[in-house]
Chains A and B, each alone.
Chain A
Amino acid sequence: MKQHWLSFELEMITEPAYECIKLTGRLAYDTQLAAEQKLLVAAAAVKRRLVVIDVSGLQFLDSTGLAFLVRFFKQVVSANRAMAMIVRDNAVLKKILLIAKLDRLLPIVADEQELLSLPPLRSPDSIGQEELYSAWQQCRS
């Protein structure tokens, strides 16, 4: 987890079935001002029912960053949307998310394919967080 970049970047990509928000750089105490501003703008710009946060490009994530992810999750869910996280091959990020128990809040999957193969996502336009999470839990067990 090389973390010499003192920056945080966010890119939003609208896919047919979901909105993907790609995070790169550091999501940490020292990038909190940029992160707060960018995540706020992103939360307001979300149009799709399903929001996918791709954290695989994050080089460092600390407790401040985790708090931002939780706050963003709460904003998404309170707007009746559903959210999942994609980690790809970023094993360190996945480990931190699991230590923080975020897998008790939302699906943490390897990639889009794994997410879109979950049964309720056959109709992603009407998906709710509870439905998405329980489908993921069933696939896990």
Chain B
Amino acid sequence: MVRCKASEEAIAFCDLIAEQTACLFAVRDAELFVLAVHEAIVNAVKAVRRLGLNEGTILLFFSITDDEVTVAVEDDGDGIPKEMFKQLGRKTLSDVLLAESGRGLLLIHEIMDMTAVVERADGRRTLVMKMQRAQQRPF
């Protein structure tokens, strides 16, 4: 688990962790895995900033099994807006072709093998996503 202050530094740091995780645990598509984690972290940073929390943090969790890598992202903000997540499955990247925002979550959904939002006891939401591991691994 990694906890960082929601900032550009946190985005860069989490990108590096995602790169190393993708490489070490040989996920199905390392570059796209990094992009999906990056998008989730950017969403989390934006959620904290939306609430104007100067000291707000984001949390990044990894869970690794023989078959897959699971990533969870939480924030001190309001997480992913419920309406936005409800649109997943109904809305695709084709629907936002000319839009100048709103692609992040759709990219995550497209890239990862599984995406879900878990409601926490305090009403906030955690984004959980999974990617399969490749057959050929460094270890």
A residues lining the B interface (CB < 8 Å): 1-4, 6, 28-30, 60, 62-64, 66-67, 70-71, 74, 92, 95-96, 99-102, 104-105
Chain B: which residue is nearest A64 at the CB level? B42
A27 CA to B31 CA, complexed, in Å: 15
Q: How far is the CA of A2 from the CA of B34 in the complex (A)?
A: 10
Contact among A4, A30, A63, A74 with B11 in the assembled complex (CB-CB below 8 Å): A30
Quote the shortest CB–CB distance from A30 to chain B (angstroms): 5
Interface readout for B18-39 with A: 1 if CB under 8 Å, 0 if not?
A: 0100000000000110110011
Main secondary structure of the interface of B (DSSP, over half): helix
**Contacts of B121 on A, CB cut-off 8 Å?**
none
Contacts of B111 in A (CB 8 A): 99
Determine whether the beta carbon of B35 is less than 8 Å from that of A96.
yes
A24 to B93, CA, bound (A): 25
Closest 10 CB pairs of A and B: A63-B103, A63-B104, A1-B31, A92-B31, A67-B100, A29-B42, A30-B8, A101-B93, A101-B94, A71-B100
Contact of B103 among A1, A100, A105 (CB under 8 A): A100
Contacts A/B (CB < 8 Å), 7 sampled: A3-B15, A29-B11, A60-B38, A62-B38, A62-B104, A66-B103, A104-B97
* Contact-residue size bin, chain B (C-beta under 8 Å from the other chain): 20 to 34
Point out the residues of chain B lying under 8 angstroms from A28, CB to CB: 38
- B39 and A63 within 8 A (CB): yes
CA distance A30 to B35 in the complex (A): 13
A70 touches B8 (CB 8 A): no
> A67-B103, A74-B98, A99-B111 in contact; A6/B32 too (CB < 8 A)?
no
In the complex, are the beta carbons of A62 and B35 less than 8 A apart? yes
CA distance A64 to B98 in the complex (A): 13
A61 to B34, CA, bound (A): 11
Closest chain-A Cβ to B110's Cβ sits at a distance in Å of 6
Q: Which of B80-105 contact A (CB under 8 A)?
A: 93-94, 97-101, 103-104
Chain A contacts for B19, CB-based, 8 A: 2-3
